[in-house]
Amino acid sequence: MEQTQLPADRIIVESSDLYNVSILEIYSHMISAGAKDSIPPVLVTPLDVIDMEALNERYAIRLRILAALGGTHILLDGNHKGLAHAIRQETMNSIIVTCERELAECRKLAKVGGLTCFPPVLQEPFPEAIRRLQTYLHDKTFLLSDKAEKWVSEGCLPEYMKRQYRKTSGLTNAQIRGRVQNTRNGLAVAGSGWYGGDKQSPVPRGLRGNKDYILAAGGKIPLAQISRELRDDYEVVKMTIESGSSCDIDKVSRRLSMNRELAELAVSHNGYAWKYINQFLQDEKMAILALNARYNSHLVFSLLPYYLKEDPDVKAAEDRRRRTR
């Protein structure tokens, strides 16, 4: 069981809800009075403990995006304590739990007052606690630091707490609202986003060149909303094509537009019209022969322009394909 200080931008919370403003104020006053060390630690677990395969695809993508944005741990317990530290922009005393043995140590600590937890967290075995947590992950799961900004911008916090946040962060109300909207848009690619936000919302400019974020989105971001540098990144373009989602091939860099493997992927995964596919190729005739041989596909032949369909070599390749079906 490791005890450490974690900042709010590394902790993922499963909910944006705030259940008791009064409790939040108590913790906030303790931090202001210099009694931060008297606040019991929050309980977190590393993100890699979560079984991504067991999650709904939308929520798994959301978690991967949050990890790409800096999240390393998920909060098991300490919603109000964590939010109070996030609003005060202070690191928080945290206990990292990775297994049942370490959770048993937390139970002993709770008996002597060194830890306060929502009862189910300490009453159930660690695997059950993780399974319960996984069922809570949804469209309101995001970084604790973003949750603080949301409540400062939109919530019913006391005005003095909002002023304190603005003073410490150096941000105006308008800037905080802009950051909240960017968070909403940045996460919306995973699904419905914050409060049903439009998943077609534009990707924030600050994230368009973030390769980890783009890869975490699993091909759900159109190339048109990715930076020019990443449109020249083989891994990003290949993932976008393989995902089967909309891939604006005309947005690919000139260097990658001549890549034979990407052309084959575009045909096999997406069935793009040849007028787009041939942007990848320097020799259309050689390309179609290679594609037809590799995929044995009528789709490839059917998308050819007339002059290639009449080419003797291409016709012979198509005849061989038909005979071997």
Q: Check pLDDT > 80 for residue 179.
A: yes
Strand partners, 93: 5
What number does CATH give the domain 2-165? 3.90.1530.10
Strand partners, 95: 3, 43
Instruction: Tokens for 142, please give them.
Output: 């995001």
Top-confidence residue, 38 or 245: 38
Tens-place pLDDT, residues 295-321: 666 656 666 777 777 888 888 888 887
* DSSP secondary structure string for all residues of 235-257: HHHHHHHHTTS---GGGS-TTGG
Residue boundaries of the structural domains of the chain: 2-165, 226-323
Sign (positive or negative) of CA dihedral 199, 204, 210, 213: negative
Instruction: Tokens for 63, please give them.
Output: 């978690």
Residue 6's pLDDT is 96
- Average pLDDT value for residue range 178-185: 88
Neighbour count for residue 305 (Cβ, 10 Å): 12
Do residues 134 and 54 touch, judged by C-beta distance below 8 A?
yes
Q: Determine if residue 271 is left, alpha or beta; phi over 0 gives left, psi from -120 to 50 gives alpha, anything else beta.
A: left
Tens-place pLDDT, residues 106-160: 888 888 877 776 656 788 889 988 888 888 877 778 899 999 999 999 878 899 9
- Average pLDDT value for residue range 204-229: 89
The pTM score is 0.79
Calpha distance 147→194 (Å, rounded): 11
Tens-place pLDDT, residues 239-293: 888 886 655 667 888 788 777 778 777 766 655 545 555 555 556 676 667 666 6
Query: What's the CA angle centered on 268, arms 265 and 271, to 5 degrees?
Result: 110
| Range of 60-64, 132-136, 321-325 with top mean pLDDT | 60-64
Q: Check pLDDT > 90 for residue 170.
A: yes
